[in-house]
Each structure stands twice: as C-alpha cells, then as structure tokens.
Structure 1
Amino acid sequence: MSPEPTSAAALIERAIRARLPERGKRPLVVGICGSQGSGKSTVCKTLTAQFSQAGLSVANLSLDDLYLSLADRVTLAKHVHPLLRTRGVPGTHDTKLGVHTLNALAHSGRVPLPRFDKAIDDRRPASQWDSVQGPAQLVLFEGWCVGARPQGLEALDQPVNQLEANEDVDGRWRRYVNDALGGEYQRLFAKIDLLVLLAAPSFDVVLKWRTQQEQELRAQTTGSVSGVMNDAALARFVQHYERLTRHILIEMPGRADLVIRLGADRSVIG
C-alpha cells in the first residue's frame, strides 16, 4: 500500500521519480538529512520496499554504519580529544569507506554494505554486513548530518551547551569536528544527487525523539549491553549533536532540493 500523500516518504518518492530519468547509468544517490529520531530509517525502509517492488535495485546506507570502530575512537580520544570517543560527530566516521562503498555501487558484482551495532557501540564484523547486487539504480544515504556544511570559525567561539562549556573549554573538539566536516566529509557528500532535509521544528524536540529511540533499543536487547544508555547518559550524548543540528536547521533549508518540515509528532506540516 502506498503511503499517505502528505507523508515524508510520499514526498521523497515523488522527488526521486522526477530525478530517476536523469541518472543515466549511474545510481541516483539520495541524501536524507534529519536530526536524531526524525524518522529517517523508517522513511528509507518504506522507500526501499516501494522501489524494490517496482523492479529497481536499491541500496540503503546510513551514515551511522560508517562509524569508526570503538578501538579507533579510543585512539582518537587519547591523541586528539576525549570527546571523540563518543560516536556521532564528524571526525568519528570512516568517510573513505563511505566513498568506496558509493563508488562500488555503480559497478557490477556484490557490494558489501557496512553495518554498525549501536547496542555494543562497535562496527559489526564484515561477515555480518548486508550486501546488494550492483550496479544499484537508487542509493538511499541517510544520516543526521548528511550533506551538512561547516560553520564559520567565529561561530565556534562560544559553547552552545554544558558539554562544550565544561568538557571543551578551549574549543579544540569543536574545531576538530568542524575541520573534518569541511574536508573529508565534503568529498563524501559530493556523491549526493538529491538532498532532502527532514526539518525538526526545533532542537528542543530532538531529545524527546532520541529518548524514544533508546527505549526501543532497550526493549530489543537483553541483559547488560554497553551501548544502551540510561536517560542521564542520553541527555549528555545528545549534547554532542546540538551545535551542528542547530546549524543545519538554519543553513540547509536554503539549498536542499527538498525540505520537509516536521511537527513534534513527526507529521509533515510543510
């Protein structure tokens, strides 16, 4: 059954169908940006099912699946800044793996798709990755900062929350993140043909949405699992994303190919 006409999936489907004839022999790479909990994964599952049923070869890749391994992030934390142990911000992804994967999807053969397990806070072994038969005709590439651009240097001077004020006093962490976003991430995001923004009404609802996600993760796991957070840990975790999420909500709407504005219940309001 097709989604309701006003759903985010329906709006993105319409935009994809308008662009597919332009792709030639290349995959159409659709970047879907949205804050934590905005429904990106659900939208991509819906779109994957719809276009697969229509006979297209579809690959679904999340920026989250490109996270560096826990060991690599521990090394970054030791040599660059302690906050880089926490996954999420630019500088904690393997962008070269992302570029390699997107390039491979344009060619024939089985293409492994990296997968990250948030319950253990580490990348899954390659033997547990998904794969698709290339060449893909459509690639859905989603993530909380997919397509983002760096801030101006002056914007980095003042902390935006307690995490930055207390744990990044000299601004070294946020400068590292911003530099990474302006460098290697732009090479990855240059692969995007159609950029979609699922725009939250404000950053204030993001913690609520992310809390719902974590509750679902807790329900899916049993026993003590290192990657599952309690509410206090989650509130601190979300602060890692605050600066760039606020920046995206201001900067990206003016240049995204499609902006879908969401209400606090994730319904489409514009």
Structure 2
Amino acid sequence: MTGSLERLEARVRDWRAREPLVLGLCGAQGSGKSTLAAALAGRLAADGWRVAILSLDDLYLGGEARAALARTIHPLLRTRGVPLTHDVAHGIAVIDAIRAGHSVPLPRFDKARDEPEPAECWPIAPAKLDLLIFEGWCVGARPQGSAALAEPVNTLERDEDPQGCWRHAVDAALAHDYAALFARIDRLVLLAAPGFEIVADWRAEQEETLRRRLIAQGRPTDGLTDRAGVARFVAHYERLTRWILHEMPARADLVLPLDRQRGLSG
C-alpha cells in the first residue's frame, strides 16, 4: 500500500465537490482494497469528513440463495464471487439512501460462515455522508460481450462450463443489474495488480490472516480453504480479473499500479 494512500487521498480531496461522493475502488483479490479503504476513511474522518465503507463482498447472497442459482442457472454459481452471487438490489438501495442523505444500515457478510451477518449486527452509516467508499474485486466492471466468451480461460471453464452457460450468465448480469449498480459510482479507482498470476498468492495470504484471527477469537475455521482450494476458488475470478486489468485502466479516474508487494510500481 506504500504510496497508494497518499495519492488516493489527494485525488479524493480534489473530487469532493459532489456530496456525497461515491468512490468506486476496484482491485483483484488480496490487492489491499479493504486496507486502503479503511486507511483513507480514517484520515478523512480525522479531518471531520463523514465517511462510510460498503464492500461488494458484503452484498454476497447466502448459501441457500446461491444453491438456488446453482440449480436453475449453473452449478458454478454455488460458489460466491462472480456477478449474480450478490444482492444487487440491496446495494442499489443502500447507495440511493446515502445519496438522499439518510442514515442507513450497511450489510456485512461472514466469510468464515459463508453467510450474511444478522441484520442487527450491521453498522450504521451516518446521515449526510461526505464520502462512501464502495470497494470490491469487480466494482465498475463492464461486460466482455459474447464473442469474447467463446474460449475458456482455464481448466475450470473448460471442464465445468464447456458450453459457456455460466460465463454468459455472468456477462449478462454485468450488462444489466450490475451496470445499474455501478452507474451510481462518481469516481472509479483501480488498484492494478501486476498480473493475474499473483492473485492466488495474495488470496492465500488473506486466507491465512483470516485463519489466524478466527483461531485467536476461538471461532471455527471450517469455511476457509487450503492452497489447492484457493487455486480453484480464484479460477472463478480469472476471466473477469484479466478483463478488468485489460479494459479498465483506459477509463478509470485513477489507476494505482501495484508491484508484487502491493506497493506502487509507478
């Protein structure tokens, strides 16, 4: 995160003219989005800004809802992550309420349990926010279009989605419901990983950090995965991550290129 916070903070202060400012922060798994968002929020709050953070991950559907998607659309939708596995309508409602100046509960998802947290545990965003940071691995992503989906990008797609049903459904979701959600972003920032190949390493580090925290809290770690599980998990994200790294830099309001240690590379 070396250098990224200072550069991002300077730009956000310049962009403040619109209140509330909805800042989209996109970056591959493990790229440091949550850490950067929290650090930015802390700095600005110290200056009197009213700031809240909404993570796309906290909009994940629970297991039952994803099981229904797996039955009716494609089995790969049982795994959380790609478009279609989020409660997009809820995300839109939260952002619209914040834009209207209201105080609103912010959803939270428990990754260890793979289920949303009970609503009574959600934090409350204060009324009349100055800044909402909306962060997530595919925040602001655009669809690829049918022609780009023909060839599988990895063995997961080749073996488990040979007809392309899963990837076409995901792309269609990006073109419709997710487009409506992402249209509410005022400024888009991309944390650009040096390549998709680093994502599995970053994700494994995340998983280990979460594992240690849960053990320290005396909580179960059954929902976490080993390195082989991580490799399979991130394969679900590969196509769209590669597309974002290719397509988004040309239109993002700010690109923060990262090295393997998550510091600025340029």
Q: TM-score range by the shorter chain?
A: over 0.9
The CA distance in 2 between the partners of 1:88 and 1:108, in whole Å, is: 30
1:168 to 146, 161, 178: 161
Q: Which moved more, 1:251-260 or 1:101-110?
A: 101-110
SS at match of 1:30: strand
Counterpart of 2:6?
Answer: 10
SS at match of 1:75: helix
Map 1:98-247; keep pairs closer than 5 Å: 98-222=91-215, 224-247=220-243
Confirm or deny: 8 A CA contact 2:150 2:164 kept in the other structure.
yes
Map 1:37-56; keep pairs closer than 5 Å: 37-56=30-49
Shift of 1:106: 2.4
Q: Which moved more, 1:225-234 or 1:254-263?
A: 225-234
How many residues were matched structurally?
263
The CA distance in 2 between the partners of 1:20 and 1:108, in whole Å, is: 16
Shift of 1:227: 1.9
1:73 paired with 2:85, answer no
The CA distance in 2 between the partners of 1:69 and 1:135, in whole Å, is: 30
1:253 paired with 2:249, answer yes
Percentage of pairs with the same residue: 51
The CA distance in 2 between the partners of 1:38 and 1:108, in whole Å, is: 31
SS at match of 1:87: coil
Structure 1 segments of 4+ aligned residues over 6 angstroms from their partners: none
Amino acid of the residue matched to residue 66 of structure 2? Answer: R
The CA distance in 1 between the partners of 2:63 and 2:47, in whole Å, is: 39
SS at match of 1:201: coil
Amino acid of the residue matched to residue 34 of structure 2? Answer: S
Confirm or deny: 8 A CA contact 2:52 2:125 kept in the other structure.
yes
Confirm or deny: 8 A CA contact 1:195 1:257 kept in the other structure.
yes
Counterpart of 2:262?
Answer: 266
The CA distance in 2 between the partners of 1:227 and 1:155, in whole Å, is: 33
Q: Deviations over 1:87-131 (max 9, x none)?
A: 000010111100100111123443100000100111111011111
The CA distance in 2 between the partners of 1:71 and 1:170, in whole Å, is: 25
Structure 1 residue ranges without an equivalent (≥5) = none
Counterpart of 2:28?
Answer: 35
The CA distance in 1 between the partners of 2:223 and 2:6, in whole Å, is: 33
Question: Normalized against structure 2, the TM-score is what?
Answer: 0.96
The CA distance in 2 between the partners of 1:185 and 1:68, in whole Å, is: 14
The CA distance in 2 between the partners of 1:140 and 1:253, in whole Å, is: 19
SS at match of 2:126: strand
1:20 paired with 2:13, answer no
SS at match of 1:61: strand
2:90 to 93, 97, 112: 97
Confirm or deny: 8 A CA contact 1:106 1:134 kept in the other structure.
no
Amino acid of the residue matched to residue 42 of structure 2? Answer: A
Structure 2 residue ranges without an equivalent (≥5) = none
Shift of 1:134: 1.1
Confirm or deny: 8 A CA contact 2:112 2:220 kept in the other structure.
no
The CA distance in 1 between the partners of 2:7 and 2:168, in whole Å, is: 36
Q: Name the Cα RMSD after superposition.
A: 1.2
The CA distance in 2 between the partners of 1:109 and 1:100, in whole Å, is: 11
